[in-house]
Structure 1
Amino acid sequence: MKICVYGAGAIGGHLAGRLARGGAEVSLVARGAHLAAIQANGLTVQAHDGTHHSRPRASADPRDLGPQDAVIVTVKAPALPDVAAGIAPLLGPATAVAFVMNGIPWWYFLGQDGPHRDMRLPAVDPGGALESAIGLERTIGGVVYSASEVIAPGVVHSEHGNIRVILGEPDGRISDRAKAISAALEAGGMPSPVTPEIRLEVWAKLLGNLANGPLCVLTRRGVRDSFADPLLREAGRRSALEAQAIAASLGVALPDAHIERVSQSNMMHKPSILQDLELGRPMEIDGLFEMPLHLARLTGTPTPQLDLLVALAKQTARAAGLYPEIA
């Protein structure tokens, strides 16, 4: 299977290494020193099950790679306009595009039954560029659990074995194309269930992002260190409860067990949004934090703690020059 990973940073690099290990014909869209190292020396993934080396094709220009059977988009939300502008050369007549990302996806309400059916989300798809360039008919939703970090150009380190990529069609079908991508990932050692309830999985991941992301940005420490303070652990639990309420207001019932899982987290790994702050990279504040709060306001769901923590996280990002100033 011919698969391109669009955005080969930590997560994308890990997935590309898994796909190559499983026998897929892998290519990468990457940039900078990471791209140069992959082109020169290949891609190395250090994981719980060994060190995996591969030599995927890699370029900053999708035109060098040509049409694919599938594209897996793993960029951070601020880079999505670049994906919309550049993805066309990778798309054949039947190419599926799996968005394996954090936060509320651009397609969330498209085709969904309910009071918000077909509502667009310009904050995560400015000008409808992704809908126009890719379209709902090609789109597969995705959620990834993989505590990964680029520790040197061309080298990705994955912290532990609790990894998986969950895939699902926005309309709830268990499609052959989603199963094909899943099989390619699983052949390389990455568990990849296909679900009929991808929106539930989006919120299950977002629960953790909202519970620990703003707090870790403010403390500048990882989850385990931040949650060592009982008051901050309780704050994380309350944030998760508010996120659960937002999901419920949209018809997604997250079990209480998810709250306990998040509040008991002892993950040493720093959330990606904290890594971005430390490295001076664009931060996913809008997709991860602001969009869920926009949906809370849409449904009239009170979120007093998240409102405060997100406002403080934004100010932290502004102080670092990584988020727009208040007009």
Structure 2
Amino acid sequence: MKICVYGAGAIGGHIAGRLARGGAEVSLVARGAHLAAIQANGLTVQAHDGTHHSRPKASADPRELGPQDAVIVTVKAPALPDVAAGIAPLLGPETAVAFVMNGIPWWYFLGVNGPHRDRRLPAVDPGGALESAVGLPRTIGGVVYSAAEVVSPGVVHSEHGNIRVILGEPDGRISDRARAISAALEAGGMPSPVTPDIRQEVWAKLLGNLGNGPLCVLARRGVRDTFADPLLREAGRRSAEEGRAIAAALGVVLTDQHVARVAASNMAHKPSILQDLELGRPMEIDALFDAPLQLARLTGTPAPQLELLVALVKQVARAAKLYPDIP
């Protein structure tokens, strides 16, 4: 299977390494020193089951890679406009595009029944660029669990073995194309279930982002160190509960266990949004934090703690020149 990973940073690099290990014909869209290292020396993934080395074709220009059987988009949300502008050369007539990302996806309301059917989300798809460039018929939803970071150019380190990529069609079908991408990932050692309810999985992952992300940014520490303070661990639980209430208002049912997992988290790993702050990279505030709060307001769901924490995170990001100033 010919698969391009668009955005081969930590998560994308790990996924690409797994695909290569499983025998897929892998290419990468990357940039900077990471791209140069992969072109010169290949891609190395340090994982719980060993160190995996591969030599995928890599370029900053999708035109050099050509049409694919599938594209897996793993960029951070602020880079999505660049994806919309550059993805066309990768798309053949039947190419599927799996958006394996954090936060509320751009396609969330498209084609679903209910009071918000076909509502657009400008915060995560400004100007409808992704909808125009990719379109819902090509789109597969995705959620990834992989505590990974680029430890040096061309080298990705994954902290633990609880890794998986969950895929699902926005309309709830269990499709052959989603199964094909899943099989390619699992052949490389990355579990990849296909679900009939990808929106539930989006929210299940998002509870963790809401529960620990803002607090870790404000504390400037990883999850374990932040949650070592019982008051902050309880604050993380309350944030997850507010996220659960927003999901419920949209018809997505999450359990007490979903919230409990957030409060029980003991990873030393720093959330990616904190890594971005420390490295001076654009932060995923809109997709991870602001979009859920917009949905809270849309549904009339109170989320006072999240409103406060996200406002504080925005101020931290503004001080670092990583988020627009208040007009």
Shorter chain as normaliser: what TM range? over 0.9
Specify the alignment match of 2:231 in structure 1. Answer: 231
Structure 1 residue 321 displacement after superposition: 0.7
The letter of the residue matching 2:44 is T
Written as runs of structure 1 = structure 2, the 5 A alignment for 1:77-88 is 77-88=77-88
Say yes or no: does 1:171 pair with 2:205.
no
Specify the alignment match of 2:27 in structure 1. Answer: 27
Structure 1 residue 178 displacement after superposition: 0.1
The letter of the residue matching 2:262 is V
Structure 1 residue 158 displacement after superposition: 0.2
Specify the alignment match of 1:243 in structure 2. Answer: 243
Structure 1 residue 292 displacement after superposition: 0.1
Specify the alignment match of 2:36 in structure 1. Answer: 36
What SS does the corresponding residue of 1:195 show, helix, strand or coil?
Answer: coil
Specify the alignment match of 2:156 in structure 1. Answer: 156
Give distance in 1, aligned partners of 2:39 and 2:167: 29
Give distance in 2, aligned partners of 1:257 and 1:155: 34
Written as runs of structure 1 = structure 2, the 5 A alignment for 1:108-119 is 108-119=108-119
Structure 1 residue 108 displacement after superposition: 0.1
What SS does the corresponding residue of 2:16 show, helix, strand or coil?
Answer: helix
Where structure 1 has 5 or more consecutive residues not aligned to the other structure, the ranges are: none
4+ aligned runs moved over 4 Å, structure 1: none
Alignment RMSD: 0.3
TM-score of the two chains, using structure 1 as the length reference:
1.00
Specify the alignment match of 1:96 in structure 2. Answer: 96
CA deviations 1:177-202 (Å, max 9, x no partner) are 00000000000000000000000000
Give distance in 1, aligned partners of 2:97 and 2:260: 33
Give distance in 2, aligned partners of 1:241 and 1:158: 28
Specify the alignment match of 1:290 in structure 2. Answer: 290
Specify the alignment match of 1:211 in structure 2. Answer: 211
Specify the alignment match of 1:263 in structure 2. Answer: 263
Structure 1 residue 60 displacement after superposition: 0.1
The letter of the residue matching 1:261 is R
The letter of the residue matching 1:324 is P
Aligned-pair identity (%): 87
Structure 1 residue 103 displacement after superposition: 0.1
What SS does the corresponding residue of 1:184 show, helix, strand or coil?
Answer: helix
What SS does the corresponding residue of 2:157 show, helix, strand or coil?
Answer: strand
The letter of the residue matching 2:212 is N
State how many pairs are aligned: 327
Specify the alignment match of 2:197 in structure 1. Answer: 197
The letter of the residue matching 1:9 is G
Specify the alignment match of 1:123 in structure 2. Answer: 123
Specify the alignment match of 1:15 in structure 2. Answer: 15
What SS does the corresponding residue of 1:141 show, helix, strand or coil?
Answer: strand
Specify the alignment match of 2:134 in structure 1. Answer: 134
What SS does the corresponding residue of 2:294 show, helix, strand or coil?
Answer: helix
